[in-house]
Structure 1
Amino acid sequence: MPYYYPLKKDKDISRRTRTIEGLQRIRKQLKDEKFPRKKEADSLILGTWNLRNFDDDRFNFGPRMTESFYYIAEIISHFDVIAIQEICYDLWPLKRLMRILGNDYDYIVTDVTHSSLGGNEERLGFIYNKKKVDFTGIAGEIVLPPKMMISKETEHKRQFSRTPFGVDFQSGWFKFFFSTVHIYFGSNSPSSAKYKRRVQEIEAVAKYLAQEAKKNIESNNQSNTNYILVGDFNIKKEGSAGFNALKENGFEVVTNNKGSNSDQTKFYDQISFMSKKNELKLLQPHRKDRVFQFFNSVFREEEDYETYKPIMKERIAEKLEYAEEMLAKATNQNDRDKYSGQIKSLKAARKTDVSLKAYYKKWRTFQVSDHLPLWIEIEINFTDKYLEKIKNFNPDQNL
């Protein structure tokens, strides 16, 4: 469970109370929505979450407050293993989150994908409960062989904008190769080359992993019999080209009746899988509400606006002062344009209560995220099946 002792020492009673009440609402919401409870030997709770720009404040809406780290940690603590996207170059915020999660949890992340490749200097990774999930020692970024490289707008070929990441895990009897992606966004216009590039990236990672899965299954390799592919695919909706690219390459996609962006209108994030002889068994297979809308509990649109209004005003004033100082020191046009733009945006945000409310809706997504976590629960105890299988086994058959 998360390490909440430091909250006790917070001398700001208002902040401490606000944080604790937010945590209590999250916990109650998870219980009310029948989020699966952890079962030591029987099931695995697995998920994916794009933690928006975690956490370098490049978009000038942050950084995250201490209470936001507690909210994120509380949510993650209900998972046994979760893929995370948009971890930034500086790992200090992630390490701060891990301190709250406590010693039972660990993480594995990639190096950054540089912005020159369209990767925005982001990392991909996994956070997992060491008491429940074993890292087998195999991890790697997915690099496409020449014949599978992605077509660009011209005849040139390319790798992914952000290199997908895969790790071999085991939980109980269940062995799985867990891969995560953050697919290139580009454009939402289906006729555009940038949208086609997005679909091509999804096709490429699905095809590559499908071939690896088939190779392992045909060779009876017991180390990787289940492939789970999750992440931010920037898929618009079920039935779109990106969604179909997963299914057409043999992946079973876990569908939800609501989207995973903050207002739940887009289906950007997905969980999909391919398994040997249907070894991957979902618990509650017909459930369609595996998206957790945390804004029902924290940074609520109506109930919490007045609470955060003075905090936002203070932060805007600090950022405005800094931007004005930097503009005065700027020696090139790019910097002058950058800080002039920040000053204009910040002044517009605080101009009226209506504009500040609009700012709040965006600001809160940089405190938690503009994506919502997705989850599935998987059966991991195959003891009864194994005993039945070996009951009539003849050892001489292997001689």
Structure 2
Amino acid sequence: MDHAQYSVATTEDIVRLRRRIAQAGLPPRRTDANVIVGTWNIQKFGGFHPDWSENPGSPKRNLRALALIAEVVRCFDVIALQEVLRDTAALRYLMDQFLGPHWAVLLTDVSGGDKGNSERLAYLYDTRRVVLSGLAGEIVLPPTPEGLPEQFDRTPFIAGFRAANEHFTLLTVHIRYGSVPADRLPELQRIARYTAQELRARARAGQSREEPNLLVLGDFNIDKRQGNPLFDAFVETGLWVPEPLQTVKTTTGKTAKHYDQIAWFQGEDFGLKPSGRAGCIDFAGAVYQELSSAQVSPRVSDHLPLWVEFTTDRSEEGMARVLGVDIDGPEPFAGCWTERAVAVGAMGALRAGRRDSTGWSWLDGNLRLSSPAVSPPRRRVWCGACRRRRGWPFPCLRRGGWRRSGRRRAGALQAHSACCEGRP
């Protein structure tokens, strides 16, 4: 659906929402450079009202709400969704009419029983940026000597993806809420001890190549992080929440809650490269400004989406291996910027008005020697006259030395290679 078809109220909401997205520091999606992973509990994502106007009855989620949800989803390459209901009408309309044919969905069956709440878990991903690796399944705990253990109320969902040359595995969950916080502890321990840790151990032992670079994400119903027995149970096996996410709230209410998490095991076996950027998109107060927070929740959600960015461009690491330098050191390629680099780097650094160690600078479209005491680099390149015909005014070295041309402005250097003299 084109933005020109949106209602006035929806367009105003999106203008404010995009400003919030920019304030969140969410980076642009760059092909072969990064991958952005998100998670979002969209409250009771089931049916919808197929109109831009408000529905006096139920459901309250209308086209305006779906347009706002689509605006958030487009920020990510792949996003895990919780609380997708048995009725997938809103999800399918979101995919077909708002996100478009380049987006795909992978979802579970409905979790049965009263505790399952008729919910599904899902992944939405942009097929132009991310493809499935082939792995997908729901997590069932194996039998123990004591018998079959209690299963999850809402079965965790695992899937493998590939972005550029990076393979990674997502495991999304929606932990039991319970009547008291202590009711959540058993499922948190099971997901950390017997699921995530086992998957990591299999990958580290080389028993399976299908679950590399595991990320655990979703709604863990953890009220707060540090100093909380629920959070301690979640991270006791080594799962690590990136620092930018350790303090952000993940709900829209006045009281800060930290229900949602994105975490992974740190170590040499985790091959993804975090960029250090992560956060949440706080849309509260930016959309549906005419309604209260409690009224916005059934339309959009009462949870805020979390995100984390990983780098997929490994070109500098490859160059560091070739040159034998430490990519993690300060300015690992500083030693490559020598006098020989002037001929290659002048178009970039020198045009930007900088000088390098040889004393050359780029001024008024000419390469000038800032310090007469510094000799020009001894390197033969194509004739300056030839290059100028190709739109590249770059002076070249003459075999046997340099000469100044009185026909050029003072300080400009012009030389022709002997092999170029006489060329038409």
Q: State the Cα distance separating 1:212 from its structure 2 match.
A: 1.5
State the match for 2:189 in structure 1: 203
Q: How does 1:5-16 map to 2 (within 5 A)?
A: 7-8=4-5, 16=7
SS of the residue 1:30 aligns to = helix
> Higher relative contact order by CA 8 Å / sep ≥ 6: 1 or 2?
1
Contact conserved, 1:181 with 1:231, CA < 8 A, in 2? yes
State the match for 1:158 in structure 2: 150
State the match for 1:81 in structure 2: 78
C-alpha distance 267-61 of structure 1, shift in aligned 2 (>3 A)? farther
Q: Which residue type is aligned with residue 132 of structure 2?
A: F
The 2-side partners of 1:389 and 1:224 are apart by 27
| 1:183 matched to 2:170 | no
Question: What is the CA deviation profile of residues 92-135 of structure 1, one whole-angstrom value per residue up to 9, with x for unaligned ones?
Answer: 1101111201111111000000233x010000010001011110
Q: State the Cα distance separating 1:196 from its structure 2 match.
A: 3.3
State the match for 2:108 in structure 1: 110
- Greater shift in the superposed pair: 360-369 or 217-226: 217-226
**2:22 maps to which of 11, 16, 31:** 31
Contact conserved, 1:55 with 1:64, CA < 8 A, in 2? no
Q: State the Cα distance separating 1:156 from its structure 2 match.
A: 8.3
Unmatched 5+ stretches in structure 1: 11-15, 150-154, 189-194, 306-359, 393-399
Q: State the Cα distance separating 1:274 from its structure 2 match.
A: 2.1
The 2-side partners of 1:186 and 1:61 are apart by 26
Q: State the Cα distance separating 1:34 from its structure 2 match.
A: 2.1
**2:144 maps to which of 144, 147, 153:** 147
Q: State the Cα distance separating 1:391 from its structure 2 match.
A: 8.5
The 2-side partners of 1:34 and 1:112 are apart by 35
SS of the residue 1:147 aligns to = coil
Query: Aligned residues: percent identity?
Result: 31
State the match for 2:39 in structure 1: 48
SS of the residue 1:296 aligns to = coil
The 1-side partners of 2:145 and 2:10 are apart by 49
Q: State the Cα distance separating 1:223 from its structure 2 match.
A: 3.9
Q: Which residue type is aligned with residue 115 of structure 1?
A: G
The 1-side partners of 2:304 and 2:88 are apart by 22
- Greater shift in the superposed pair: 47-56 or 255-264: 255-264
Question: What is the CA deviation profile of residues 46-90 of structure 1, one whole-angstrom value per residue up to 9, with x for unaligned ones?
Answer: 110000001248xx7633111000000001101111000000101
Q: State the Cα distance separating 1:380 from its structure 2 match.
A: 1.7
Question: What is the CA deviation profile of residues 152-177 of structure 1, one whole-angstrom value per residue up to 9, with x for unaligned ones?
Answer: xxx98410000000001111122111
SS of the residue 2:273 aligns to = coil
SS of the residue 1:123 aligns to = strand
State the match for 1:374 in structure 2: 306
Q: How does 1:1-399 map to 2 (within 5 A)?
A: 3-4=1-2, 7-8=4-5, 16-56=7-47, 62-99=59-96, 100-116=98-114, 118-147=115-144, 157-188=149-180, 195-207=181-193, 208-219=195-206, 221-238=208-225, 239-254=227-242, 255-263=245-253, 265-274=256-265, 277=268, 278-284=270-276, 290-300=279-289, 304-305=290-291, 360-386=292-318
Q: Normalization by structure 2: what TM-score?
A: 0.68
Question: What is the CA deviation profile of residues 199-232 of structure 1, one whole-angstrom value per residue up to 9, with x for unaligned ones?
Answer: 1111111222211111211217544320000000
SS of the residue 1:295 aligns to = coil
Q: Which residue type is aligned with residue 262 of structure 1?
A: T
Q: Which residue type is aligned with residue 304 of structure 2?
A: L
Contact conserved, 2:142 with 2:148, CA < 8 A, in 1? no
Q: Which residue type is aligned with residue 256 of structure 1?
A: Q
The 2-side partners of 1:102 and 1:23 are apart by 18
Q: Which residue type is aligned with residue 365 of structure 1?
A: S
Unmatched 5+ stretches in structure 2: 49-56, 325-424
SS of the residue 2:276 aligns to = coil
C-alpha distance 42-156 of structure 1, shift in aligned 2 (>3 A)? closer
SS of the residue 1:366 aligns to = coil
The 1-side partners of 2:154 and 2:145 are apart by 16
Question: What is the CA deviation profile of residues 131-157 of structure 1, one whole-angstrom value per residue up to 9, with x for unaligned ones?
Answer: 1111011100000012299xxxxx984
- Greater shift in the superposed pair: 71-80 or 166-175: 166-175
C-alpha distance 223-157 of structure 1, shift in aligned 2 (>3 A)? closer
Q: State the Cα distance separating 1:29 from its structure 2 match.
A: 1.9
Question: What is the CA deviation profile of residues 252-289 of structure 1, one whole-angstrom value per residue up to 9, with x for unaligned ones?
Answer: 1133323111126110000011255142322135x6xx
Q: Which residue type is aligned with residue 78 of structure 2?
A: V
The 2-side partners of 1:236 and 1:121 are apart by 24
From the CA coordinates, give the structure whose radius of gyration is larger: 2
C-alpha distance 383-173 of structure 1, shift in aligned 2 (>3 A)? farther
Q: Which residue type is aligned with residue 73 of structure 2?
A: I
Q: Which residue type is aligned with residue 281 of structure 1?
A: K
The 1-side partners of 2:58 and 2:298 are apart by 6
State the match for 2:420 in structure 1: none
Q: State the Cα distance separating 1:384 from its structure 2 match.
A: 3.7
Contact conserved, 1:56 with 1:63, CA < 8 A, in 2? no
The 2-side partners of 1:124 and 1:29 are apart by 27
Q: State the Cα distance separating 1:295 from its structure 2 match.
A: 1.7
The 2-side partners of 1:361 and 1:373 are apart by 16
Q: Normalization by structure 1: what TM-score?
A: 0.72
